[in-house]
Amino acid sequence: MAIEPRKPPSLLLPRLQRALGGRTGWSGFVLQLLFVAALAWICYEIVANARANLQAQRITAGFGFLANTAGFDVSQNLIPYSGSDSYTRVFLVGLLNTLLVSVIGIFFATLIGFIVALSRLSPNWLLSRIAGGYVELIRNLPLLFQILFWYLAVLAALPNPRQSISIFDSFFLSNRGLVIPKPIGTPGFEPFVVALLVAIVAAIALSRYARQQLFQSGKVIKVWPYVLGLVIGLPLISALIFGAPVSFEVPALKGFNFAGGARVIPEFVALVLALSTYTAAFIAEIVRAGILSVHKGQMEAGSSLGLQRGSVLRLVVIPQAMRVILPPLTNQYLNLTKNSSLAVAIGYPDLVSVFAGTTLSQTGQAIEIIGITMGVYLLISLVTSAIMSFYGWRISRSMG
């Protein structure tokens, strides 16, 4: 008797039932459908009512304002901007300022966080207690208070521009920020960059080759002198042939402030300091938890292979700890980005300050502007999450 191959049961129906909250049959489906319909109706009512009432009160609505002239200036702009540019440009200026402070804040927060975590786990009693004290002090004080502390208590105590602290007469530190010589590209700039890129690519190829050799034949090739020679030598040769790649515009005191040079404004410094030290305290605890989650035997196994403590941490423990560290670390990165909106308290021109602040007040279009701003923060957070997930995926893949 031939046995009929049994058909695999259709997965669609049970899946649908599960999605509908476990109820079987049509009653569940109908309930869910009603719920979704009610939700859609409420959303529609909110939008339609808001629109009708905006019209009734003759409040301007829509996104036409984005093309209008902004008419106000901003203290820090990464792209050229003046008061005669549009609100769209203001939006971009604010967004870039937010991204700048977030990226730099995340970099320093991670760096400080790892250092503090490793210090706290160090066998050195004093070091571990100092690290512990740092974590407990910083994470238990409100962030806004810390921002104001750096801004009003530390940076505002710097001297005024006329009595600024000068280093080699080219770097000036005052309560207007740090003024540094500004590099200006000369004709030798392009060949210099090309030479540097070539040198870096060659150095990477060389290191890979050395690594391959190590794994295949066990030969240890001392690669760093060549790398150093390449990275320094090639650009140097380019500079000798084509001339120096940059010249420096040295700042000088002129009137109330320094003219020329590039400037790091104190609002930016205060914000980066506060955000990175504050977030670092949380990251330190996350990293410590991650490292402690790796079995002690791993450390001992590494040591018995003859590796030093630093190498054990770097090659054995931290890669395994990363799986535990990564999800809460992502949370901290997202927190830092969102916390950067506290900038408005110290006059740093971030997205919330110039767009959801000044632009909103000038145009009065609260719904559109708050909507855009929320959307942007959501997008930044989702992109950050995606990058971190990708990194996590790579780690778990490489560890099999």
Partner 1 sequence: MKRVSLVVTLALAAGLSAQAASAQTLKTVKDRGMLSCGVSQGLPGFSSPDDKGNWTGLDVDICRAIAAAIFNDASKIKFVPLSAKDRFTALQSGEIDVLSRNTTWTLSRDTSLGANFTGVTYYDGQGFMVKKALKVNSALELNSASVCVQQGTTTEQNLADYFKGNNMKYEVIAFGTNDETVKAYESGRCDVFTTDVSGLYADRLKLANPADHVVLPEVISKEPLGPMVRHGDDQWFDIVKWTLYGMITAEELGITQKNVDELAKSDKPEMKRVFGTDGNLGEQLGLTKDWVSRIVKSVGNYGESFERNVGTGSKLGIARGINNLWSKGGIQYAPPIR
Residues of the shown chain interacting with partner 1 in the complex, contacts defined by CB under 8 A: 45-47, 49-50, 53-54, 56-60, 71-75, 82-83, 152, 156, 160, 175-176, 254-257, 259, 266-267, 341-342, 344-347, 349, 352-354, 356-358, 360-364, 366-367, 370
Q: Please, which residues have CB within 8 angstroms of residue 319's CB and are 6 or more apart in sequence?
A: 395, 399
From the CB of 152, what's the least distance to partner 1, in Å? 6
From the CB of 64, what's the least distance to partner 1, in Å? 10
* Rounded alpha-carbon distances, angstroms, from residue 182 to 11, 67, 149, 163, 262: 65, 33, 30, 21, 5
Q: Are 340 and 98 in contact (CB under 8 A)?
A: yes
* 351/342 Cα distance (integer angstroms): 11
From the CB of 288, what's the least distance to partner 1, in Å? 32
212: left (phi over 0), alpha (psi -120 to 50) or beta: alpha
Q: Could you tell me how far CA 11 lies from the centroid of its own chain?
A: 42
From the CB of 343, what's the least distance to partner 1, in Å? 9
* 61/261 Cα distance (integer angstroms): 43
Which residue lies nearer to partner 1 by CB, 20 or 155? Answer: 155
From the CB of 369, what's the least distance to partner 1, in Å? 8
Question: Greatest CA span in the chain, whole angstroms?
Answer: 103
* Rounded alpha-carbon distances, angstroms, from residue 237 to 174, 246, 321, 373: 38, 15, 44, 49
Count of CB atoms situated within 10 Å of the CB of 52: 10
From the CB of 233, what's the least distance to partner 1, in Å? 42
Q: Are 347 and 75 in contact (CB under 8 A)?
A: yes
Q: Are 165 and 173 in contact (CB under 8 A)?
A: yes
* 395/400 Cα distance (integer angstroms): 9
From the CB of 219, what's the least distance to partner 1, in Å? 59
Least Cα distance to 102 among 390, 377, 389 occurs for 377
Which residue lies nearer to partner 1 by CB, 120 or 176? Answer: 176
Which residue lies nearer to partner 1 by CB, 147 or 287? Answer: 147
Q: Which amino acid is present at 218?
A: G
Q: Which amino acid is present at 71?
A: G
Count of CB atoms situated within 10 Å of the CB of 157: 8
From the CB of 341, what's the least distance to partner 1, in Å? 5
* 159/173 Cα distance (integer angstroms): 8
Q: How far apart are the first and last CA of the chain?
A: 46
The pair of three-digit structure tokens given for residue 174, joined into one six-digit string: 């005052």
Which residue lies nearer to partner 1 by CB, 54 or 236? Answer: 54
Which residue lies nearer to partner 1 by CB, 72 or 209? Answer: 72
From the CB of 39, what's the least distance to partner 1, in Å? 15
Which residue lies nearer to partner 1 by CB, 81 or 189? Answer: 81
Which residue lies nearer to partner 1 by CB, 76 or 110? Answer: 76
Which residue lies nearer to partner 1 by CB, 156 or 378? Answer: 156
Which residue lies nearer to partner 1 by CB, 53 or 293? Answer: 53
From the CB of 211, what's the least distance to partner 1, in Å? 49
From the CB of 178, what's the least distance to partner 1, in Å? 14
Phi, then psi, of 132 in degrees rounded to 5:
-65, -40
Which residue lies nearer to partner 1 by CB, 24 or 361? Answer: 361
Angle at 22 between CA 20 and CA 28, to 5 degrees: 55
Which residue lies nearer to partner 1 by CB, 154 or 292? Answer: 154
SS3 for 75? coil
